[in-house]
Amino acid sequence: MIQFLCSSNRLIESSDSIATSMRAESKSTSLAILLFCLLFTSFIPIVSAGLTDSENGGKLFLACDDVDNCSLSSTAATGEDMISQDIMATPGQSKQVTLEFEMHPMQRELALLPSLLDEMVIDLRLREDVSGWTRPELDISLIIGNSVTDWNFPAQNIPSQTVNEPYRMSDEPLDLQNERLLWAGQNVRLRLTFTIERPSTWELHLWGDSFLEMTIPWSENIEEANVDEPSGDINPVETEFETVHYGALVENDRDCWQFDVEEHELLKIILIWDSVPIEIEQSHGLPDLITPNGRLTGQPEIIISEDDDETRISYRWRALPIGQYNFCIGGKAGAFQPYQWAGLLGFEGSGPIEPESFESESYYPAGSAIIDDSASMINLQRSESPILIISILSFLGFGFGALRLTTSAAVRFGLFTPGVILLLFGGIISPVWALADEVQLEGEISFDEMVDMRLQQLWDVSYPGVPQQTLVEHTGSTWGMLNGENFKLRLEIEEAYLLPDGRYQLLVPELQSFRMDKAIFSQVAKGGTQTTDEGMLEQQTVRFILLSGRSLLLDFLMLEALMVVDEEPTSSIFHLDVDMVVTSSTGAVTVPAWGTRPSFISENEWSQLQYSLFPERISVTLCDCDLDLLDVRFEPSNRFVLADIPDAELIRSAIGVADSSAFAAGIGFILCLIASRIEFVRTKKAGELAQTMFVQSKWD
């Protein structure tokens, strides 16, 4: 068996069993050289420029040589330490001052912009000749590429003999207008505008006193990544097939290579796309493999695997003609993505990445977020109705008896009335209340409905033309719930585990046998356009499958981790009713996760839970072959402990019939029974006495 290894900054292990032939030794040597090249390239540094050029944690400092020559610099000590100007103005003839700062050097990388400005400090001071220091009204405009965000600071007209505080703000939203990308050649400008109405002198303090800071989560140098140029259908790059090739698709570019194919039974091309933000991801369409006679090869077997670091696609053809081939991949406008590819010639065999190696079923790995399943387990049941039926029949029977008059107030008010009250509340009202709390409440959904809604949501946002910010927002949300939405879920739990801290962790039965592949492919079938004319899954469908596999796994993982209650449940029915709010997401910036949280869980608790629960690695693999197959695997985190589960309860148990209610109903039944017996005996004796008196009076 020969193991094929290919990666740019990481090792990607793909094995292909090949029956050894006379060339086995030479192939092993080639693969060893290939592995060495991959390891060497993993240490190549990335050069930054522009907005990602700062050595101070993403800060850009305001710098000026004079009033008319200002810039945004990544270095604090640049130019003058302060600029100032004397202004002669009156309330009737005010003067407006505008200062512009353009980033230098210009942006030379493609960067993903954050949604928040971390911090901005503008140390602008206004000294009036007589009264002292005041604070003018300040308008700030931050222009990033094609987006503009404006802020306004009101004036402070009460003079002070001490210097006023700088204009300061933090965690301010940026108005990016659904354009989170800053392309090379675009720039960043800061505009300050303030109005002066009295004779005064303004001062702008620099050298680190005035700055702005925003953390850039991702960036890439397009020119350095696009090492395959020039190439195309007319001018393909001549190369050897069994080696590693590096490049990048920039917008609707087309990259082509030319190579010779020797005798083989199996020809495989492994194409690895580096992880980039969804906004600029290429379509990953079927590449063109052109035969020596100028025709396209037939449909290959395709296996697609995706994780946080990359998307790996394996194309496999059998018994192609010997000769010179062209291999071309094409891009789309507005997209960019680096890649690596390598070819392998071999003979028929089987291995762990072959279609035959896929399991026919792909289940969610239930129990991944269970703290300790070796603890004592309790079985949960729904509220029983026999006590309610018996109590109703008893209440009707005793009520009918109560219609008969009695002369004993002690029996009526000492036994019968308390018994009826206990029977009513313990045997009827309490069970009815418990049963009412176990039904599906208004607005609640079941587990299956939650899954269907989540898959439909992901299907809708996977369509071409959906704004990329919308796609990121929906796929990165928790359980598909966006900011401000209310999440109501009803679950029937059969088992619970006692945790060391006295709380109980619930076991969601639907997760124990949930088939992720069946649910996802059912949504694909329901969505309609499933395959292209060539039989290959549409790229929108492929993207949906990979996204939904990852999203469902993370949704279930978070749900499983938060199924904790403080007290022992009295019913198997549980209700979840929470308002969701936006929060900082986790995972890769290209595929964020858990970007919304229940409002009653604090930001700090949620961040700690994210960090400890997020898996070490997630892999979603699709085999687009004769029978579409899906494999979802992950390496769970070893950091998740009991202390990471927030104290606030996410879910509550239905009220249930308490043992005290059944006990009260039993006492009430006994009291009513005793009262009825006493009344029956009294009535019988009274009848006998009346009969005796009647007989005596008749003979007299």
DSSP string, 532-550: -TTSPBPHHHHHHHHHHHH
The pLDDT of residue 140 is above 90: yes
pTM to 2 decimal places: 0.65
Summary mean pLDDT of the chain:
78
**Residue 205 and residue 163 share a domain:** yes
Comparing 93-107, 116-130, 558-572, 652-666, which segment has the lowest mean pLDDT? 652-666
The pLDDT of residue 699 is above 60: no
Domain extent, residue 529, equals 440-653
The pLDDT, as a whole number, for residue 500 is: 87
3-class state of residue 360 by DSSP: coil
**Residue 168 and residue 257 share a domain:** no
**Residue 591 and residue 565 share a domain:** yes
CA–CA gap between residue 662 and residue 658 (Å, rounded): 7
The pLDDT, as a whole number, for residue 605 is: 92
The pLDDT of residue 23 is above 60: no
Give domain status of residue 367, yes or no.
Answer: no
The pLDDT, as a whole number, for residue 542 is: 84
Q: How far is CA 642 from CA 210, 371, 695, in A?
A: 45, 6, 84
Give domain status of residue 527, yes or no.
Answer: yes
Confidence bin at 502 (pLDDT 50/70/90): confident
Whose tokens are 């580096």? That residue is 274
Give domain status of residue 622, yes or no.
Answer: yes
**Residue 614 and residue 591 share a domain:** yes
State the Rg of the chain over Cα: 37
CA–CA gap between residue 532 and residue 109 (Å, rounded): 36
Per-residue pLDDT tens for 641-692? Answer: 989 999 888 888 766 555 566 666 667 667 666 766 666 666 666 666 667 7
The pLDDT, as a whole number, for residue 433 is: 58
The pLDDT of residue 184 is above 60: yes
The pLDDT, as a whole number, for residue 435 is: 56
Per-residue pLDDT tens for 208-244? Answer: 899 999 988 888 888 888 887 667 888 899 999 988 9
Per-residue pLDDT tens for 277-318? Answer: 888 888 888 899 999 998 999 888 888 888 888 899 999 888
Give domain status of residue 589, yes or no.
Answer: yes
**Residue 597 and residue 559 share a domain:** yes
**Residue 102 and residue 39 share a domain:** no
Residue 172 maps to which CATH number? 2.60.120
**Residue 127 and residue 90 share a domain:** yes
Q: Are 319 and 262 in contact (CB under 8 A)?
A: no
Residue type for position 319 = A
Number of structural domains the chain divides into: 4
Last residue of a domain, one of 219, 250, 269: 219
The residue count for the chain: 700
How far is C-alpha 246 from the geometric centre of its chain's CA atoms? Answer: 31
Q: Which residues pair with 652 in a beta bridge?
A: 575
Mean per-residue pLDDT, 99-106: 90
Mean per-residue pLDDT, 592-602: 92
The pLDDT of residue 408 is above 70: no
The pLDDT of residue 76 is above 50: yes
**Residue 330 and residue 302 share a domain:** yes
**Residue 594 and residue 459 share a domain:** yes
The pLDDT, as a whole number, for residue 255 is: 92
**Residue 215 and residue 227 share a domain:** no
Last residue of a domain, one of 159, 189, 219: 219
Tell which wins on pLDDT, 58 or 313: 313
**Residue 159 and residue 260 share a domain:** no
3-class state of residue 17 by DSSP: coil
The pLDDT, as a whole number, for residue 541 is: 86
Q: Packing angle between helix 447-461 and helix 468-475, nearest 10 degrees?
A: 160
Give domain status of residue 366, yes or no.
Answer: no
The pLDDT, as a whole number, for residue 47 is: 37
Q: Are 152 and 122 in contact (CB under 8 A)?
A: no
**Residue 450 and residue 425 share a domain:** no
The pLDDT of residue 509 is above 50: yes
Give domain status of residue 370, yes or no.
Answer: no
Confidence bin at 362 (pLDDT 50/70/90): confident
The pLDDT, as a whole number, for residue 156 is: 78
The pLDDT, as a whole number, for residue 579 is: 94
3-class state of residue 194 by DSSP: strand
Give domain status of residue 677, yes or no.
Answer: yes
The pLDDT, as a whole number, for residue 454 is: 95
Confidence bin at 28 (pLDDT 50/70/90): very low
The pLDDT, as a whole number, for residue 227 is: 80
3-class state of residue 412 by DSSP: helix
Last residue of a domain, one of 167, 199, 219: 219
Q: Other C-beta atoms within 10 Å of 696: how many?
A: 9
